[in-house]
Structure 1
């Protein structure tokens, strides 16, 4: 597998890259500068990027968001001992496919790399309390409101949602208004971003439906 490794500690980058190479991976880039990774990623086409950026700019989350714009898009594993603000939101939204604590054994990282490359979303070495997922919004929505939310994100009209759920247009409009209120947004056009930020839809769903809202 083609890997890129970026960590602010050059010695750690070198040791990790050597270990990954010994276990059969092709490490196509090792750097301690996130700007180098972003400049070269489109050309070197890594399948998975392993990174840790805790200081300076761009942040790990910003790097992951930029990498998500590439085609083909690499999976991103954050290997860190300190999660910055926004990490768990990025994980829920699908920008960071893996978040691994540096205290984990090397085989855990190896397994995570394989799993994210296969399309999984992975978290290893973190207590549930450390994962600041937006559960308040999830818990506030009823099961029917969640159904309506996902149909709104998919760009369905009020009539189509009413037909699919077997209810009246008035009932759908009521549900949509409740969803908007609980997400704290005004207008359907902002629902997708708010839903992704709350971990209710992933970034792939968001990307495929953006531009259909009206």
Structure 2
């Protein structure tokens, strides 16, 4: 589903995706049309325009009404830090930047439908800065100290963009067990979505690497 209140952008993207072999494409431009589409079908993914005049309102709705449908933020600007953070808090599964070609969007759609999460480097940097600020306010100890070995293992897989089903298959455990571990991870790390968890996992890894290098210099 394409969710954008700009008819020119929405229709142009729909034509482009159809030319690239994407099947049925539904279009919505406001809350009533969005609800109408959901009443008739269940899309595999939602492409939400970050260039819409009602993006903030639409973001809240798609995050709560059908949280089972992954959402990709398209037309994302690296200058819109507030919008990027809001998307992460809403559980956005992927970001397509304004300067990225259609081929990247097509690849991203496939990754997200398969259960993955994709964060461009600039988005990762913004979210990392946000998490660092939150952590500083809480004045907590390194959060990985409170995680079990299994949770650390799953956190690493979340950083790789693996879906819950992929994790369950690799670890040989039930899907609902993975979901419980992920829920516990979010609670312990103080994050709201897989994107924030993946960013924090990267930050922890970099912190440990930096400390190990510092110890090596002192030896």
TM-score, normalisation: structure 1: 0.58
Deviations 1:26-67 (A, max 9, x none): 233113224412342243110011111442375343133124
Equivalenced residues, count: 155
Is the Cα contact below 8 Å between 1:98 and 1:123 reproduced in 2? yes
Deviation at residue 200 of structure 1 after TM alignment: 4.2
Matched, 1:65 2:63: yes
Q: 1:36 and 1:116, CA in 2 relative to 1: closer, same or farther beyond 3 A?
A: same
Deviation at residue 89 of structure 1 after TM alignment: 5.2
For structure 2, the residue ranges without an aligned partner over 5 or more in a row are 152-185, 200-219
Deviation at residue 137 of structure 1 after TM alignment: 4.9
DSSP 3-state at the match of 2:11: helix
More helix, by proportion: 2
Matched, 1:12 2:9: yes
For the residues of structure 2 that align with 1:94 and 1:193, how far apart are their CA atoms?
Answer: 18
Q: 1:67 and 1:100, CA in 2 relative to 1: closer, same or farther beyond 3 A?
A: farther
**Corresponding residue for residue 107 of structure 2:** 111
Deviations 1:68-97 (A, max 9, x none): 44xxx2211010234463533543x57210
Of 92, 95, 113, which aligns to 2:91? 95
Matched, 1:79 2:77: no
Q: Which aligned pairs between 1:117-196 and structure 2 lie closer than 5 A?
A: 117-124=113-120, 126=122, 128-131=124-127, 132-137=129-134, 140-142=140-142, 145-147=145-147, 192=187, 195-196=190-191
Is the Cα contact below 8 Å between 2:93 and 2:117 reproduced in 1? yes
Is the Cα contact below 8 Å between 2:84 and 2:123 reproduced in 1? no
| Structure ID, larger Rg | 1
Is the Cα contact below 8 Å between 2:70 and 2:92 reproduced in 1? yes
Matched, 1:29 2:26: yes
- Runs (4+) of structure 1 exceeding 6 A deviation are none
Is the Cα contact below 8 Å between 1:20 and 1:27 reproduced in 2? no
Matched, 1:46 2:43: yes
Is the Cα contact below 8 Å between 1:104 and 1:125 reproduced in 2? no
TM-score, normalisation: structure 2: 0.57
Is the Cα contact below 8 Å between 2:76 and 2:97 reproduced in 1? yes
